[in-house]
Amino acid sequence: MRDFYWLYTPWASFLFGLGGWAWKPWRRFVLPFTGGWLAWRYGLPRWRCAAYAVSTAIVFSFGYDPQRHPWLVIGQVLTSYGLPPLFLFRKPLTVAWIPLVTGSVLFTAFFLSASVGLPHKLFEIAAGGLHGFWVSLAIHEHERNEK
């Protein structure tokens, strides 16, 4: 399957955006399941794939509506989006910075969406794409270390 895993980045972006527009389970269940399944197909340990899928389903179910939640909570939720991919890395402590980068990027995009009128769908596409990138990077690391 060579480098097929990099296609997960736009796939995750698509599903995250679709989940924000049409049917929430696209984001909350289909996206995590397909990421876990893809990682498993590339030979990552089954327990890591399952932990990734379950934790992604949980964090993608957290609310981040500024009408209902303070900005601090929104920042914490968006930072949590970077946690599940850590399960897929062989040495998660070496990439423990991923949640901080994720939270910073997504909080900035979300703030721009909420305050200056950046289309919210662009935020959703960025959130899904960044998450998909981390998953693809974890699979890439696994593939590189297997050779």
Domains of the chain, residue spans: 4-146
Q: Which residue has the tokens 């703030």?
A: 111
* Long-range pairs of 9-15 with CB within 8 A, sequence gap ≥ 24: 9/129, 9/132, 9/133, 9/135, 9/136, 10/129, 10/132, 11/132, 12/128, 12/129, 12/131, 12/132, 12/135, 13/125, 13/126, 13/128, 13/129, 13/132, 14/128, 15/128
24-28, 36-40, 114-118, 121-125: lowest mean pLDDT where?
114-118
Phi (first) and psi of residue 81, to 5 degrees: -65, -20
Q: What is the pLDDT of residue 60?
A: 96
Q: What is the pLDDT of residue 118?
A: 85
Average pLDDT for 90-116: 95
pLDDT digits 0-9 by tens, 11-57: 999 999 998 888 899 999 999 999 999 999 999 999 999 999 999 99
Percent of the chain with pLDDT over 90: 86
Q: What is the pLDDT of residue 88?
A: 98
Q: What is the pLDDT of residue 146?
A: 82
Confidence band (pLDDT; 50, 70, 90) for 109?
A: very high
